[in-house]
Amino acid sequence: MPPEISLLLDRSESYVAQNRRADKKQSLLRGRTIINLFFEASTRTRTSFELAGKRLGADVINMSVSTSSVRKGETVIDTAMTLNAMHPDVLIVRHPESGAVKLLSEKVNCAVINAGDGSHEHPTQALLDALTIRRRKGRLDGLKVAICGDILHSRVARSNIHLLNIMGARVRVVAPRTLLPRAVERLGVEVYHDMGEGLAGCDIVMMLRLQTERMQGNYFPSIREYFHFFGLDYEKLGRASAEALIMHPGPMNRGVEIDSLVADDYGRSVIREQVEMGVAVRMACLELLTGDPAGGDRGNI
Ligand code: CP
């Protein structure tokens, strides 16, 4: 709901300031235990959740799945129930299968944060993207946002479409037909297959990585052709608003979905700012889920 999202973004603002100070630490979550449980690779999300927990004074454990008993055949659910028996306050979970995090959350009695499940959702990414946009543009309502590239496999796209629609933005998706989910317009987006048309007049241009690890078969003739038609360069960007922001959740594949010159144009590219906002947003999520010791039911994000 808009008020809940606005509250979380407002709380994140105070953490942006805290994270820019020399002393970044406070003791709000002293005594709380957070476990990072990542069944899929991550740089930004895992590190920022670890930093977020530590800066709030919690104990943070990074479970190394590759050296855990998962390698001996223990299931995801049994792994989660085993960790739950050690009384963590929050499990932060990333998993390659859509729906796995929800399933796991039903088997434990601590709070669970979805750090990305398959092609389904990546809610804290959408929140950090919203914070980045709101800080730069002063609002989300009424903005024209183009999300471009591999929509089909992107949990970032789904979470952003959901959040941006709730907050009153107008969302477009721009992609080849092969990289769009069936009936994508039912998600509340305008659909384009041409970058020039899709980017025309947009306030935000959000590029997505080709998720080749989730692809079976051929979705486009070649990387070269994909970049020619769908890679963001200055020529295509010229169709967007002159003040349009360039965004990418990372990791980027330079020369595939985005040209290096555009990615590194720090007048307009906010890609590094997105990473910074990730820590602040995740601090706010941890605070709101665990900050009140007398709080009622556990929550999930
Ligand atoms: N954006 C994002 O989720 O990045 P990581 O895969 O590095 O966590």
Ligand 1 midpoint to CA 44 (Å)? 5
Enclosing H/E stretch for 289? helix 271-290
Q: What percent of the chain has pLDDT over 70?
A: 97
pLDDT per residue of the chain (301 residues) written in tens, 0 to 9: 889 999 999 999 999 999 999 999 999 999 999 999 999 999 999 999 999 999 999 999 999 888 899 989 999 999 999 999 999 999 999 999 999 999 999 999 999 999 999 999 999 999 999 999 999 999 999 999 999 999 999 999 999 999 999 999 999 999 999 999 999 999 999 999 999 999 999 999 999 999 888 888 888 889 999 999 999 999 999 999 999 999 999 999 999 999 999 999 999 999 999 999 999 999 999 999 986 644 445 678 8
Q: Which of 44, 253, 275 for mutating ligand 1's site (highest number of atoms within 8 Å of CB)?
A: 44
Is residue 45 annotated as a catalytic residue, yes or no?
yes
Is the CB–ligand 1 distance for residue 274 below 6 Å?
no
- What's residue 232's pLDDT? 98
Buried b (16+ CB within 10 A) or exposed e, 111-125: bbbbbbbbbbbbbbb
Query: Whole-model pTM?
Result: 0.95
Ligand 1 midpoint to CA 249 (Å)? 7
- What's residue 291's pLDDT? 64
| Ligand 1 atom closest to Cα of residue 278 | 1
Q: What CA–CA distance (Å, rounded) separates 95 from 112?
A: 13
Other C-beta atoms lying within 10 Å of the C-beta of residue 27 = 9
- What's residue 135's pLDDT? 98
Angle formed by the axes of helices 155-166 and 2-19, nearest 10°: 110
Ligand 1 midpoint to CA 238 (Å)? 28
- What's residue 58's pLDDT? 97
Contact in structure between 197 and 230 (CB atoms under 8 Å): no
Is the CB–ligand 1 distance for residue 42 below 6 Å?
yes
**Bridge partners of residue 191, in order along the sequence:** 173
Enclosing H/E stretch for 228? helix 223-230
Is residue 122 annotated as a catalytic residue, yes or no?
yes
CA atoms 144, 253, 261, 282: torsion sign:
positive
Ligand 1 midpoint to CA 252 (Å)? 10
| Ligand 1 atom closest to Cα of residue 116 | 3
Contact in structure between 52 and 286 (CB atoms under 8 Å): yes
Q: What are the DSSP E strand ranges found in 169-222?
A: 170-174, 190-192, 204-207
